């Protein structure tokens, strides 16, 4: 019984890091995580294969595949003009629903996500060495919240302020199944991934090594 109802139920309570920024540890079940990982492998195969985007001529250490709209610094297009010119996959209806559930969760209001219709997702894969420097998500024309889901190895996430990449910031460990939402006054906060902790992916999450992060967004674009 001690193991079944162990202290781990208490260990990772949800936390509001700033106005509009909420972390919900362990939001996705292992079955949900494994199902999403299976979808990830399908997306990574194409029509636009997963690739490292280039920022000012340098490949990012993270590899990205997009849904709905294709992102490259600092623009969204329907076709992956910097990869193979193919149109990206449609944004899946199940992911719209998941985004709405995420907002309902963080707002504490069952209808809190009803108006949320994300139309792009950046699906990132991190190996042991991958990082993401401090940045703002600001290639979208909409300031609707960003919904972030993590699967696989735990990683150190730095959540900063809206003024600069520097302090004050908070470092948290995003683990497999964690939800993080940033919107409202936190929508343009700088953030990044400092480090992946190898070998920390839980059994059954569908990913033996590395980390997947999905960020759903509203581009505010038409066409």
Q: Which residues are annotated as a binding site for Fe cation?
A: 135, 137, 191
Which one among 88, 98, 106, 122 touches ligand AKG, defined by CB under 6 A?
122
Extract the tokens encoding 20.
């509009």
Closer CB to Fe ion, 64 or 176, in the complex: 64
**Binding residues for Fe ion, per CB under 5 A?**
137
Q: How far is the CB of 2 from ligand AKG (least distance, A)?
A: 33
Instruction: Report if residue 36 touches ligand AKG, rule: CB under 6 A.
Output: no
Instruction: Report if residue 176 touches ligand AKG, rule: CB under 6 A.
Output: no
Cα-based distances in Å from 218 to 15, 91, 103: 24, 11, 13
Instruction: Report if residue 157 touches ligand AKG, rule: CB under 6 A.
Output: yes
Which one among 33, 176, 186, 215 touches ligand AKG, defined by CB under 6 A?
215
List the single partner that 37 binds among Fe ion, ligand AKG, none, CB under 5 to 8 Å by kind. none
List the single partner that 182 binds among Fe ion, ligand AKG, none, CB under 5 to 8 Å by kind. none
């Amino acid at each position: 019984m001690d193991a079944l109802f162990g202290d781990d139920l208490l260990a990772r309570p949800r936390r509001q890091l700033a106005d509009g920024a909420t972390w919900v540890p362990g939001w996705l079940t292992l079955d949900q995580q494994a199902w999403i990982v299976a979808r990830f492998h399908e997306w990574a195969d194409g029509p636009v294969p997963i690739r490292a985007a280039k920022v000012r001529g340098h490949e990012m250490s993270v590899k990205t595949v997009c849904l709905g709209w294709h992102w490259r610094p600092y623009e969204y297009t329907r076709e992956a003009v910097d990869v193979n010119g193919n149109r990206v996959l449609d944004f899946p209806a199940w992911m719209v629903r998941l985004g709405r559930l995420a907002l309902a969760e963080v707002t504490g209001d069952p209808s809190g996500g009803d108006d949320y219709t994300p139309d792009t997702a950046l699906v990132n894969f991190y190996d042991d060495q991958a990082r993401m420097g401090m940045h703002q998500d600001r290639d979208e024309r909409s300031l609707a919240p960003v919904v972030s889901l993590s699967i696989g190895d735990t990683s150190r996430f730095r959540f900063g302020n809206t003024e600069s990449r520097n302090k004050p910031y908070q470092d948290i460990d995003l683990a497999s199944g964690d939800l993080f939402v940033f919107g409202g006054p936190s929508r343009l906060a700088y953030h990044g991934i400092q480090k992946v902790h190898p070998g920390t992916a839980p059994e059954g999450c569908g990913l033996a090594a590395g980390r997947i992060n999905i960020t759903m967004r509203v581009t505010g674009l038409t066409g």
